[in-house]
Amino acid sequence: MAFHPNTKLAAVLLLSFASALSAAPRLSLNTSTIGTINTVPGSNGPTQTVQAYNFGDGALNLTATPSAPWLSATVGARGTCAGNGGNCYNVTISLNTAALAAGTYTEFVTLTDPNAIDSPQDIAVTVNTTGVQSSLTAYVTPNGGTSTSVLYNIFTSGTGVKGTVSTNSGGNWLSFLSGASGLITSPSPWLIQVAAQVGQAPGTYTGTVTISGSSVATDNKTINVTMIVTTAPIIELNNSSTIRLTGAQGGGAQYAVVTLHNLAQGTLSITGAAGSAKFLSATVSGTSLVITADPAGLNPGVYTGVITITSNAANNNVVAIPVELVVAPAGVPNILTGGIVNISTYAQEALSPGDIVAAFGSQLATSTLVAPSLPLPTSLGGTQVLVNGVPAPLFFVSTGQINFQVPYTVSGAQLNTVQVISGASQGNTRSILVTGTAPRLLTKYPPYGAIVNAADGSLTDPSTVVDAVFKTHPAKPGDTIIIYAIGLGATTPAALAGQPANDGTPGKPLQTIPNVQVTFGGGFAGRAVTVASAFTGLTPTASGLYQLNVVIPPDVTLGPSVPVSILVNGVQSNNVNLAITATGK
Residue 203 has pLDDT above 50, yes or no: yes
pLDDT of 84 > 80? The answer is no
Give the amino acid at 261.
Answer: H
Neighbours of 426 (CB within 10 A): 16
- State which fold the 243-328 domain adopts: Immunoglobulin-like (2.60.40)
Let me know: does 34 contact 58? Beta carbons within 8 Å: no
The pLDDT of residue 83: 59
pLDDT value at position 160?
Answer: 87
Look at residue 22 in the predicted model and tell me its pLDDT.
Answer: 43
Q: What is the tens place of the pLDDT at every residue in 298-353?
A: 998 889 999 999 999 999 988 899 999 989 888 889 898 889 999 999 999 999 99
Q: What is the DSSP string of 141-163?
A: PPTTSS--EEEEEE---SSS-EE
> Tell me: the pLDDT tens digits for 168-194?
988 999 999 886 654 445 555 788 999
- Please answer whether residues 368 and 402 qualify as being in contact, where contact means their C-beta atoms are separated by less than 8 angstroms: no
7: how many CB neighbours lie within 10 A of its CB?
A: 13
Q: Of 362, 329, 365, which is closest to residue 249 (Cα–Cα)?
A: 329
Rg (CA), the chain: 28
Whether the Cβ atoms of residue 432 and residue 417 lie closer than 8 Å to each other: yes
User: Would the pLDDT of 108 be above 50?
Assistant: yes
Give pLDDT, residue 318: 86
Surface-to-core class of residue 238, CB atoms within 10 Å of its CB (0-12 exposed, 13-18 middle, 19+ buried): exposed
Compute CA distances 525 → 64, 180, 454, 560, 561, whole Å.
Answer: 50, 39, 24, 10, 8
**pLDDT category, 13, cuts 50, 70, 90?**
low
Contact 13, 445 (CB under 8 A): no
Note whether 410 and 387 are within 8 A (CB). Answer: yes
The residue ranges of every structural domain in the chain are: 27-128, 135-229, 243-328, 353-432, 439-580
Mean of the per-residue pLDDT values of the chain: 90
pLDDT cut 70: percent of the chain above it = 93
Domain at 27-128: CATH architecture? Sandwich (2.60)
pLDDT in tens, 34-64: 988 888 888 899 999 999 998 888 889 999 9
- Distance between first and last Cα of the chain: 24
Tell me how far apart the alpha carbons of residues 484 and 495 are, in angstroms, rounded to a whole number. 17
Judge: domain 135-229, CATH 3.10.560: no
CA angle 152, 48, 96 (to 5 degrees): 75
3-state secondary structure of 33: strand
Q: Per residue in 390-405, pLDDT tens?
A: 999 999 999 889 999 9
Same fold yes or no, 135-229 and 243-328 = yes
439-580 CATH choice from 1.10.4100, 2.60.40, 1.10.287, 1.10.3470: 2.60.40
Which of 95, 21, 24, 85 has its CA nearest to residue 51?
Answer: 85
How would residue 5 be classed by pLDDT, with cut points 50, 70 and 90? Answer: low
Alpha-carbon gap, residue 549 to 544, rounded angstroms: 17
For the stretch 554-565, pLDDT in tens is: 999 999 999 999
Q: Is the pLDDT of residue 244 over 70?
A: yes
pLDDT of residue 1: 41
φ, ψ for residue 523, nearest 5 deg: 65, -135
Position 21 scores a pLDDT of: 36
The pTM for the full model equals 0.76
* Cα distance between residue 459 and residue 468, in whole Å: 12
Q: Beta-carbon neighbour count of residue 294 at 10 Å?
A: 18
pLDDT at 238: 65
**What average pLDDT score do residues 226-242 get?**
84
The pLDDT of residue 104 is: 84
d(CA 141, CA 402): 46
CB 333 within 8 A of CB 421: yes
- pLDDT at residue 474 tops 60: yes
| Bridging pattern class, strands 162-167 and 254-259 | unpaired
Give the separation between CA 370 and CA 481, rounded to whole angstroms. 29
Distance from CA of residue 79 to its chain's centroid? 34
Query: What CA–CA distance (Å, rounded) separates 135 from 554?
Result: 64
In angstroms, the CA 529 to CA 307 distance is 50
Provide CATH code, domain 353-432. Answer: 2.60.40
pLDDT at 15: 62
Is the distance from CB of 123 to CB of 240 less than 8 angstroms? no
